[in-house]
A and B are shown apart, each in its own frame.
Chain A
Amino acid sequence: MISGAGLDDFYRRRDWQDVGLAPQAFQGQYHDNYLARFVYPANEGSAVDIIIDGIRCASCVWLNEKIIARLPGVLAVRVNYATGRARVMFDPTNVTPAAIFSRIAQIGYAPRPYTETAAREAAGHEQKDLLYRFGTAIFLTMQLMAYAFALYAGYFQGMEPQMKNFLQFFSLLVTTPVVFYCGWPFLAGAWRGMANRSPNMELLISIGALSSYGYSLYATFAGGEVYYETAAMIVTLILAGRLLENAAKRRASGGIERLLGLCSGQAQRFAGETLESVDPAELRPGDLILVAPGERFPVDGKIVEGSTDVDESAATGEALALVKGAGDNIIAGSSNLTGAVRVRCEREAADSFIARVARLVEEAQSRRAPIQGVADRVSACFVPAVLTLSLATFCWQYSHGGAFGACLMSALAVVVIACPCALGLATPTAILAGTGAAAAAGVIFKGGDILERLSRVTVAVFDKTGTLTCGRPELVGIRPAGGTKRRELLCLAAAIESGSLHPIGKAIRDHAKANGIAYPTGTELKGVAGGGVTGRVAGEPVALGSIPFMKKLGVVGVPGAITAPDGEMVVCVARGGRYCGTMVLKDRMRDDAPGLVSYLNRAAVRTLLLSGDRQVSAGQAASASGIATGIGGLSPADKAAHIDRLRGEGATVLMVGDGINDAPALSAADVGCAVAGGTDIAIETSDLVLVKPDLERLALAHRMARRTMSVVRQNLVWAFLYNAIGIPLAMTGRLTPIYAAAAMALSSVCVVGNSLRLMRRTRG
């Protein structure tokens, strides 16, 4: 399909290599009358917003845009890389929305109609609002700095008082909107903090900005030096940090929605002998539905007719596809790989596995109390201390016969000098530099507070499948029998699997390719659902599959049972009706897992493995990677509960996982880390994403987090050092404007410079 459209380029451009969805998937899944309600009128024609699942790189965006645009009747298409959302304008007389949807589905992406939820809309608005405030702040602060430099020059060279007054008045004019409009989020936050009696970072920023604004306002009319630029600078720089942090968070907001999306779309329900498409929400226990290969099961249920291979990796994390036939249970959200089956619904969609996981995630997210950050803790002691000192200054000077105005100025000066930019900048700049450097090294932090939490982690919890293991089977053993040679057996197996999309077929082909074995393409290939493959290789009949499958075919010489260690899977190969050997497949451990575990041990972080798999395989995986304890047989809720218990004991927990079954645990942990190649939902519910499936990067992230926090502490010490000199001067009323200006500039430069060191030392 992609080649047919002349878009072979895609294969050269993309940076990932696995097979997409099965091509036979998506037949008649999209119905115009269902999609009609998502279509809205646009300039010329109609438009529809589509979420495209599976967009992983810029090439995916390119491919989707090209392939949709070539559909006759499509007027314009734009795919947003950040949100994975496409807006398609089309001419309704020439093309239907269903045609657009199936077009996207044919190239292996999963399209879903997009409806804007209140939460997403709010996040978008917040980002825009911040942009407006920041843009305005930048513009006004630049104007202000021009006047401020003129005033600095005037201080040294002398200036006509009239001119000075004029400049000060202009400064007041541009600073007022910066403090009260651009700085409004901080002022509101400070007010909330005071109402809750918990002095926070916002209160510190607000006091800093308001006190220098108030001091300058007084000085403008009473005569004296002004510090408008301090107020404006604090607001502008901290808005910049906010903006960047918010942009990172916005991508993470759609987690639950996406999870539920796994079961969206249409279900095919039997009404007598005919099929009708219904919304999964309308399915009731007892309904009979047809699930075609390539679709996901919309609800939990039981197969009543047909057999197929089911990929339950979404739900259980199990990498190997399971054979399911009549009477077997089905979990909602798992995908049907090979055959059409009739399924009897057992639970309503709202009560399905996926819906329950979504609820768990939601609960865990609401339960997670925010950890008080360093900056907030500093503000909590610092703000009251400064206010007390300021009050003491006023009382002391006034009782010693100072004029009321002069005493007030001294008191305000204490607050102004005590809240220099440096203190406000200490945390944001270090965290910005730290997250930026981490991103360059392939670790995405979804917010500044994550760095701080990661640096304090005491327990690291790992998932097994897909996290410590590669998450897909690999060929680990070839056992020829009956005089067949190893190469010959591998060659046969690869040939018979040459057309297969099944993970086992792919594993066998990959192994053959890696060993430089050229295999012929099998003919008359036929996949038998839940059994294996038959066909002809070089004219001879060949079969590959499970032992029962071999027996059913009447193959001679098949052993009764093959013992395989836990976690391994065995398939038999037969040629000309005669058994000729087995292939052993296993989900291999990642090479870098032991390295990470030993790093964590050195860093005094306890390790633990929680798996949905059996206890034996959990124990094996734990010992293979050096993890102290491995616990198996846990449901998603059990994992989250285990993490809650650890947190209750006072531990700061890091959870590393990749599957939907890990999502509740990822959101319950203090820091959730998703590994690239994991499910979208894991990536979205986590706080930290490794962009390459390389666990060593987690060690890097941890080192980075600790280094960033030590820079934050250094910055705070710097800022305090200036305070230690400045506050006594201000208290005795001997604070000269030039010292104040120099202290502010110097301390800010020190802090920013110190933070920038983080950017430099990340290589290696």
Chain B
Amino acid sequence: MASSLIALMVLSLFLGCGCWLFFLWAVKKGEFSDIERPKHRMLEDDDPPPKTKEDY
């Protein structure tokens, strides 16, 4: 029982390590340098938006 538990714990440690390395990589790539702009980017399109009625 103990050995299977140890194996699981080591496995979870490795999984976590993977996520951790992924995070370090993301910081290095500058993923977090501008957290304001991307949320607006998805709302943009190159075509003009459909005309809306003036009086709303």
Contacts and interface: CB of A to CB of B under 8 A. Distances in A.
A131 B23 CA distance: 9
B27 A9 contact: no
Interface in B1-45: 2, 5-6, 9, 12-13, 16-17, 19-20, 23-24, 27, 32-37, 40, 44
A136 B36 contact: no
A128 interface: yes
Contact of B27 (A61, A82, A128): A128
A12 B49 contact: yes
Nearest to B48: A9
B23 A143 contact: no
Given A12-B49, A62-B40, A142 B16 contact: yes
A34 interface: no
A139 B36 contact: no
A53 to B, nearest CB: 17
Contact of A61 (B19, B23, B37): B37
Interface stretch (A162-170, A325-333, A554-562, A635-643): A162-170
B16 A9 contact: no
Interface size class of A (residues with CB under 8 A): 20 to 34
B9 A163 contact: no
A121 to B, nearest CB: 13
Nearest to A59: B40
A647 to B, nearest CB: 35
Interface in A168-183: 170
B2 A162 contact: yes
A143 B18 CA distance: 13
Contacts of B32: 131
A136 B35 CA distance: 20
Given A58-B40, A79-B37, A135 B20 contact: yes
Nearest to A61: B37
Interface size class of B (residues with CB under 8 A): 20 to 34
Given A81-B36, A170-B9, A139 B23 contact: yes
A52 to B, nearest CB: 13
A80 B20 contact: no
A82 B33 CA distance: 9
Contact of A9 (B2, B40, B49): B49
Contacts of A9: 48-49
**Which applies to chain B's interface (DSSP): helix, strand, loop or mixed?**
helix
A163 B37 CA distance: 49
A160 B5 CA distance: 13
B37 A139 contact: no
A141 to B, nearest CB: 11
Contacts of A170: 9
A146 B12 contact: yes
Contacts of A128: 27
Nearest to A160: B2
Contacts of B34: 80-83
B12 A143 contact: yes
A497 B55 CA distance: 28
A8 interface: yes
A613 to B, nearest CB: 37
A146 B13 CA distance: 11
B24 A135 contact: yes
Interface in A152-206: 160, 162-163, 166, 170
Nearest to A58: B40
A12 B48 CA distance: 10
A149 interface: no
Q: Which of A83, A135, A166, A170 has the most CB of B within 10 A?
A: A135
B2 A139 contact: no
Given A80-B37, A132-B27, A136-B20, A8 B48 contact: yes
A351 B27 CA distance: 42
Contacts of B13: 143
A147 to B, nearest CB: 8
Contact of A81 (B17, B19, B23, B37): B37
29 contacts: A8-B48, A9-B48, A9-B49, A58-B36, A58-B37, A58-B40, A61-B40, A62-B40, A80-B33, A80-B34, A81-B34, A81-B40, A82-B33, A82-B35, A82-B37, A83-B34, A124-B33, A131-B32, A132-B27, A139-B17, A139-B19, A139-B20, A139-B23, A143-B13, A143-B16, A162-B2, A163-B2, A163-B5, A166-B6
Given A132-B27, A139-B17, A139-B20, 17 more contacts: A9-B49, A12-B49, A58-B36, A58-B40, A61-B37, A80-B37, A81-B40, A82-B33, A82-B37, A83-B34, A131-B27, A139-B23, A142-B16, A160-B2, A163-B5, A166-B2, A170-B9
Interface of A: 8-9, 12, 58, 61-62, 79-83, 124, 128, 131-132, 135-136, 139, 142-143, 146-147, 160, 162-163, 166, 170
The 9 closest A-B CB pairs, nearest first, are A58-B40, A81-B37, A139-B20, A81-B36, A135-B23, A80-B34, A131-B27, A82-B34, A82-B36
